Every structure is written in C-alpha cells, then in structure tokens.
C-alpha cells in the first residue's frame, strides 16, 4: 500500500512539475491594459503601455535568470542560427546581455530598484558586466589580440557603450574603479581597432566616445575618422548606404546612432559633427513615415528582419528635436502600431523569447550571424523611454498623417528617394505601403547568404503581403525565376536601376549564371496594384515564371476564380483578408495557382499566382511581356474595368504605349 501511495505521489508530483513547466513556457501575447483611446484613438497606447511592452519582453528574458550568476542564454532555434560550436557560446551570452540591456536600461533610469523574477535588475547587469573581464568566469571576453580583426564582440561592446552612455548613473558609476579600468581595457581593445565598412563604425564610435566621456585616453583620431566615414555614407532623404545595401536597417540604425551620439556626447564634444548628423536626421520625417502602412505596420524587407520594432526608433527620437514641423501624433501612431503588429501576434513568442523570423520562426529570413538573443536588438525601440514624459511625441494625439490629410481614394502616391534610387509607394485603397530598392549581389560572392536572397531580390515589397520564399519547383512570388543551364529555377537578383520617370520605375536585370539572359523592367504603380511591362533582351529561348505576391492560408481555404475579359485571362485568389488578381496583357502563356507549404512567414500553407512562358529569342520580335498585378480587400467585388483598366497597349520602337480607360496615356521608354 505504501509503495502504491508513493507511486501515486510521484505521478502527481511529476504531472504538477510538467504542468508548471508547460505553464512556464506558455507564450501569451502582449495585452494592452486600460487603453487610452482619447490620446491614442487608433492604438490605445501611451508611454505607460510602452513601458508595459518593455517589461513584457524583459520578463520573458528574465524567466531564464534565477540568480545573479545566470547568463542571458536562451533556447537555440533550429536552423542556421548560431551557436554551432562551443567556441561561440561566450559571444552568444554577450549578445543576450548587451541586447536585453537596451530594454532594461531605460526602465532602470526611471526605477533603479526594478525587480524581475526576484532578481534586482540593476545588480544583475552590473554583476554580469563584471564577469566580462574576469578570466575565471564562463562569460569572460578576452581583449582583442594585437592583430585581431572586427568581430561580433565589437558589435556587442558598442551596444553596451550605448546603454552606459545613456545611463551611467546605474550601469557605470557604482562599479569599483578596478572593474571600470578592466572594462575600459577590454572594450577599448575592440573600439580602438578595425571595423567593417558599414554601420559597424558606430560601434567603435560609441566605445571610444563613452570612455572619453569618462576621462580615459582614447584614439580621437580614429574616432573622428569613423565619424566622418559614417557621414559620407549619407545619400539624402534620410537614407544612408550600408555598403552596399539599402533596407530598414540602413535608415533606422544610422539615424538612431547619429541622434543618440549627438544628444548624449556629440553636442558637447564635437558640435559641428553633431549638427551634421542632426540635419541628416531631420530629412527622414518627410520620407520614412511613408514606408509604413496606414495601420502602422512595417514591411518585411531586408536583412535582420527579426529586429522588427527596432525600425521605429527614429520616430520617438524626433522628440529630442521638438520640431514644430513634425507630426508627432502620426509618428507615435506608426510606432505603437508596429509594436502591436508583433507583440500582439500569437506566434511572436516561443519559450517566452521572440522567435527569429517575422511573426513566428521563419528560417528563410534568418541570418547565420544571429543567435536567439539577437532578437533583442529590437529593444532599441525602448530607447524611446529616454524621451521625457511631457515631450510632444508622448502628448500629441494620434493621427494617420498623410493617409488622412493628403491621400485620396482610388489614387496612388509615389515618393522617389533620389540618390538612393528607392521608390516608396502608398496605396490608400488598402492602406498599404510598398518599396523598391537595391539588389545586386551574386550568390557566389554572398558568403553570409542574405543579400542575394529573397530578403532583397523581390521586385517590390509590401506591408500587406510579406515576401514568400522561392520553392525548388519554380514557385515564386513577386519575382521572375528562369530555368538555368543546370536545369534549376534561378531568381533574378542582379538589378541595375535606370531611372524613375513619368511614374515608371525602370531597372535592367541579368541572370547571374548566364549574362546572355537579360531583361529591361518597368514597374507602374496603380491605385489597386502594379502594371508590369518587361522586355526580354536575351539572345536565346528562355523558360520563365513570374509571380504575384503570395497569400497565406488563414482560417479557411483560399478561393480561386478564373475569368476572361476582352480576351485576357484573369486569375483571382482570395484568403478571406485580401484578394489578388493577375491579368496577362501581352506575351504570356498560361496562368497557374501554385499551392505551397513551408514558404510563407504567416502560414505553413499559402498560394501564389504564377504566369508561365517559354519565350522566343529577341530576334523573333516577341519579346515584350505586360502584366497586371492587382489587389483588393476580401469581400469587395471586382468590376471588369478594375480588372482591366487598360484600353490598349501597343509596342513601339523603344517600348510600349499604354492607354487607360480613363484616357490617360503612359509611355514606357526602354531606350
């Protein structure tokens, strides 16, 4: 009987333990408690809710910390992320420490006594910072060797310097002098050294600036060199070039670093350089907001997608300028909208840690330089909490900015970004934003395997339709794939921008593995979609596929409809949220609806419309392909004139002349 009783107690104990473990890893989405719809009629979020969101992230991270000695180390996500060997673990822990500190530091600045999971947060970070210079600690980071190059450790020490520069009272001042000196020696060994010709220069800048601020002797010549080189990366309209890419990160990272550096160090020590960074920062308010949807959603575009909310940090930092020409209510509406976009999504968290992906885990969007803790780079959004409570960023009433004051129904709005060659397009009918930008990277040269991929090589990127990865059988969304010499489907990626003229965005493209396969491309944004006119300049027969945006399967099957309007085949798919239509106008063969699995960031199952053609060579004269890629919200009916807004399309010696039903004429000139 006693044995049976003991057995039953063990079973009950085991079940309770399992239940407790299950409860501990439950991933509840962020809840906005007591929303304030008077101040924030669209999101309900105030500065207090931003603090709540920061705590939501930080409490998840601290669920892995049970004593001051526990590192910020999280469950590895299956796939290409690191660590892949034991030697990388110390860097993994350094990332977790320095990146979660972006969230913790602004909270500690207001409340140095903050406690999470029975851990005094300030004590924890000071303890962990001390371990970085203790050779006996498993978290020890050795100083850079004399001939050592730039590394991930430089990145994280730059991040640590940002937090210490903005909150020395909690993170630096209480440290014993011996620890300060050891930390200076280690961090300066990285900061006073080589870097990467990209936004990485700022990591050196912050390390050198912080220790100069604290009275240490630093390499000021190198500091000035890296500052000037960073300024030279500016291309106007708020955009910096990230050698060679443009993406969200080349806007928000450069602009955030420049503004934080100026506010907390540059204005005092290098006022002329600070003024240049601030002028560049001022330019972004006329352009960057239009890259977000009406609901304040960001586009899935470029590398480091898992940083997500980091993209909003320029908006609250506008508060430091207190500029009467800035629509702060719109800036906060966008920013809070992006926080809601991710934090309230049921797939955002796993094991109480944000996934590497967009909404949930999504391996095609992951880079090899990321570990699970890398996601807390998104915590830079909470540097916003450094902006005072009475600042207009927090006190202005939310509004929809241009979407309500400038944009009209049944119209489309393009903002060409000048020297960066970026085109931002806003579509009032569905409240979506779209971007076209740089991509010209060969797979064979792309050792990190992200600049040649879907992160950059789509024809365009939309806030409403996140990019879908390519399949091995020719499944493609918002790009061409070509059957190459190896009989594999190969996506276009080597684009060369030509011009933006008369509402037409022109690029040339060549296939990486066969320079004789080349096209001239023309994108014409319309009120409800895109008109593509593309010229095949290849000297051989080409098998090709062109994809529309893809739709994820949501709570019901994706519906397919086929129509024929004035001899043109129309294919429509509808997932209950959006409808996509593809209309072949010129040159194409058949249309297919391709159902896929494991390729879409929102759902395991998705569908995309592909057009298919086996082309003749340019010598045969059948080399121009015109396509309508259209969209609507689900439940809205398509009129024939919406599906076929083009009255006529005629080839000319240099391109195509298109007459619309409205009488408007657009001439595509490939010359």
- For the segment 419-423, the average pLDDT, to the nearest whole number, is 97
Interhelix angle 89-110/152-166, rounded to 10 degrees, is 10
Are 480 and 567 found together in one domain? yes
- For the segment 257-280, the average pLDDT, to the nearest whole number, is 98
What are the tokens at 101?
């500190």
What are the tokens at 291?
């890259």
Closest to 605 (Cα-Cα) out of 613, 615, 596: 596
How far apart (Å, rounded) are the C-alpha atoms in residues 569 and 613?
14
DSSP at 441:
-
Are 353 and 432 found together in one domain? no
Are 431 and 453 found together in one domain? yes
Is 317 part of any domain? Answer: yes
- Residue 384 pairs in a beta bridge with none
Place of tokens 């970070």: 125
CA-based torsion, 401, 403, 404, 407: positive or negative: positive
Q: What is the pLDDT of residue 26?
A: 53
What are the tokens at 507?
């690029």
Is 427 part of any domain? Answer: yes
* Candidate from 402-416, 489-503, 515-529, 616-630 with smallest mean pLDDT: 616-630
Rama region for 566: left / alpha / beta (φ>0; ψ in -120 to 50; rest): left
Are 578 and 633 found together in one domain? yes
Is 665 part of any domain? Answer: no
Is 574 part of any domain? Answer: yes
Is 5 part of any domain? Answer: no
- Residue 115 pairs in a beta bridge with 120
HSE-up (13 A, CA, CB side) for residue 469:
20
Q: What is the pLDDT of residue 618?
A: 52
- Is a pLDDT exceeding 70 seen at residue 16? no
Is 10 part of any domain? Answer: no
How far apart (Å, rounded) are the C-alpha atoms in residues 370 and 122?
26
Instruction: Report residue 27's pLDDT band, with 50, 70 and 90 as the boundaries.
Output: confident
Are 308 and 415 found together in one domain? no
Average pLDDT, the chain: 94
Q: What is the pLDDT of residues 546-601, one digit of tens each?
A: 999 999 999 999 999 999 999 999 999 999 999 999 999 999 989 999 999 999 99
Q: What is the pLDDT of residues 612-646, one digit of tens each?
A: 998 764 544 568 999 999 999 999 999 999 999 99
Instruction: Report residue 12's pLDDT band, with 50, 70 and 90 as the boundaries.
Output: very low
Domain boundary, last residue among 405, 429, 451: 405
- For the segment 220-226, the average pLDDT, to the nearest whole number, is 98
Place of tokens 């009255």: 647
The domain that holds 355 is classified in CATH as 1.50.10
Is 42 part of any domain? Answer: no
Instruction: Report residue 314's pLDDT band, with 50, 70 and 90 as the boundaries.
Output: very high
- Is a pLDDT exceeding 70 seen at residue 21? no
How far apart (Å, rounded) are the C-alpha atoms in residues 434 and 259?
26
Domain boundary, last residue among 405, 420, 437: 405
- For the segment 520-524, the average pLDDT, to the nearest whole number, is 98
Are 557 and 609 found together in one domain? yes
Structural domain count of the chain: 2
3-state secondary structure of 523: strand
Contact 665, 517 (CB under 8 A): no
How far apart (Å, rounded) are the C-alpha atoms in residues 85 and 585?
54
How far apart (Å, rounded) are the C-alpha atoms in residues 185 and 326?
42
Q: What is the pLDDT of residue 191?
A: 98
DSSP at 77:
P
What are the tokens at 660?
């619309």
- Is a pLDDT exceeding 50 seen at residue 17? no
Alpha helix stretches (DSSP H) within 536-595: none
What predicted TM-score, i.e. pTM, was given to this entire model? 0.94
- Is a pLDDT exceeding 60 seen at residue 499? yes
- Is a pLDDT exceeding 60 seen at residue 25? no
Domain boundary, last residue among 343, 371, 405: 405
Are 422 and 525 found together in one domain? yes
Q: What is the pLDDT of residue 510?
A: 98
- CB neighbourhood size of 70 (10 A): 16
Alpha helix stretches (DSSP H) within 132-176: 152-166, 168-171
Q: Burial of 572 by CB count in 10 Å (0-12 exposed, 13-18 middle, 19+ buried)?
A: buried
- For the segment 157-169, the average pLDDT, to the nearest whole number, is 98
Is 661 part of any domain? Answer: no
Are 490 and 582 found together in one domain? yes
Q: What is the pLDDT of residue 616?
A: 61
Are 631 and 509 found together in one domain? yes
Are 595 and 636 found together in one domain? yes
CA angle 543, 544, 550 (to 5 degrees): 155
Q: What are phi and psi of 556, to 5 degrees?
A: -150, 170
Are 349 and 428 found together in one domain? no
The domain that holds 498 is classified in CATH as 2.70.98
- For the segment 78-103, the average pLDDT, to the nearest whole number, is 96
Are 417 and 398 found together in one domain? no
- Estimate the share of the chain in helix, then strand, then coil, as percent rounded to the nearest 5: 35, 25, 40
- Is a pLDDT exceeding 90 seen at residue 13? no
Contact 75, 354 (CB under 8 A): no
Instruction: Give me the domain span that covers residue 603.
Output: 407-645
């Amino acid at each position: 009987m006693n044995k049976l009783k003991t057995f039953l107690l063990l079973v009950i104990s085991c079940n309770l333990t399992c239940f407790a473990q299950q409860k501990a890893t439950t991933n509840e989405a962020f809840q906005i408690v007591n929303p304030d719809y008077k101040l924030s009629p669209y999101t309900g979020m105030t500065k207090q809710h931003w603090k709540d969101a920061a705590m939501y992230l930080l409490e998840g991270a601290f669920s892995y910390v049970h004593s001051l000695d526990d590192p910020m180390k999280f469950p590895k996500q299956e796939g290409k992320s690191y660590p892949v060997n034991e030697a990388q673990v110390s860097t993994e822990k350094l990332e977790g420490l320095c990146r979660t500190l972006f969230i913790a530091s602004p909270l500690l600045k207001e409340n140095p006594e903050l406690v999470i999971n029975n851990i005094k947060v300030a004590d924890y970070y000071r303890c962990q910072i001390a371990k970085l210079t203790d050779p006996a600690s498993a978290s020890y980071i050795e100083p850079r060797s004399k001939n050592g190059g730039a590394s991930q450790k430089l990145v994280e020490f730059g991040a640590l310097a940002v937090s210490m520069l903005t909150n020395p009272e909690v993170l630096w001042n209480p440290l014993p002098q011996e620890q300060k000196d050891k930390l200076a020696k280690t961090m300066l060994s990285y900061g006073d050294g080589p870097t990467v010709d990209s936004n990485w220069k700022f990591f050196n800048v912050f390390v050198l600036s912080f220790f100069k601020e604290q009275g240490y002797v630093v390499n000021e010549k190198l500091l000035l060199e890296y500052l000037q080189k960073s300024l030279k990366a500016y291309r106007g309209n708020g955009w910096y070039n990230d050698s060679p890419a443009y993406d969200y990160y080349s806007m928000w990272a450069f602009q955030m670093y420049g503004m934080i550096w100026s506010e907390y160090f540059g204005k005092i020590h290098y006022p002329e350089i600070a003024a240049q960074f601030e002028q560049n920062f001022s330019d972004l308010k006329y352009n960057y907001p239009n890259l977000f949807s009406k609901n304040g959603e960001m586009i899935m575009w470029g590398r480091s997608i898992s940083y997500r909310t980091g993209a909003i940090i320029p908006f609250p930092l506008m508060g430091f300028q207190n500029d009467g020409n800035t629509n702060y209510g719109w800036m906060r509406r966008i920013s809070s909208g992006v926080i809601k976009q991710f934090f309230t999504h049921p797939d955002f968290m796993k094991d109480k840690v944000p996934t590497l992906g967009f909404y949930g885990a999504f391996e095609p969007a992951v880079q090899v330089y990321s570990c699970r803790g890398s996601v807390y780079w998104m915590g830079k959004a909470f540097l916003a909490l450094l902006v005072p409570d009475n600042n207009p960023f927090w006190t202005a009433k939310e509004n929809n900015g241009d979407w309500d004051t400038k944009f009209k129904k049944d119209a489309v709005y393009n903002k060409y970004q000048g020297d960066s060659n970026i085109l931002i397009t806003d579509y009032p009918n569905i409240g979506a934003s779209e971007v076209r930008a740089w991509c010209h990277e060969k797979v064979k040269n792309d050792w990190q395997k992200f600049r040649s991929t879907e992160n950059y090589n789509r024809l365009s990127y939309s806030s409403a339709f996140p990019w879908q990865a390519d399949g091995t059988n020719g499944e493609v969304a918002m790009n061409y794939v070509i059957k190459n010499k190896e009989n594999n489907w190969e996506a276009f990626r080597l684009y060369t921008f030509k011009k933006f003229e008369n509402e037409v965005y022109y690029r040339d493209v060549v296939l990486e593995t066969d320079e004789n396969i080349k096209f001239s491309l023309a994108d014409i944004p319309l009120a409800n979609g895109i008109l593509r006119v593309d010229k095949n300049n290849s000297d051989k027969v080409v098998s090709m596929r062109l994809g529309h945006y893809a739709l994820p399967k949501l709570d019901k099957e994706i519906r397919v409809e086929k129509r024929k309007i004035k001899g043109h085949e129309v294919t429509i798919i509808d997932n209950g949220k959006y409808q996509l239509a593809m209309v072949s106008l010129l040159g194409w063969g058949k249309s297919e609806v391709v159902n896929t699995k494991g390729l879409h960031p929102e759902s395991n199952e998705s569908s995309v419309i592909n057009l298919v053609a086996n082309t003749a060579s340019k010598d045969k004269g059948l080399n121009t392909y015109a396509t309508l890629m259209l969209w609507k919200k689900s439940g809205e009916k398509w009129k024939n004139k919406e599906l076929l807004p083009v009255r006529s399309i005629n080839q000319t010696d240099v391109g195509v002349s298109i007459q619309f039903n409205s009488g408007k004429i657009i001439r595509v000139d490939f010359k």
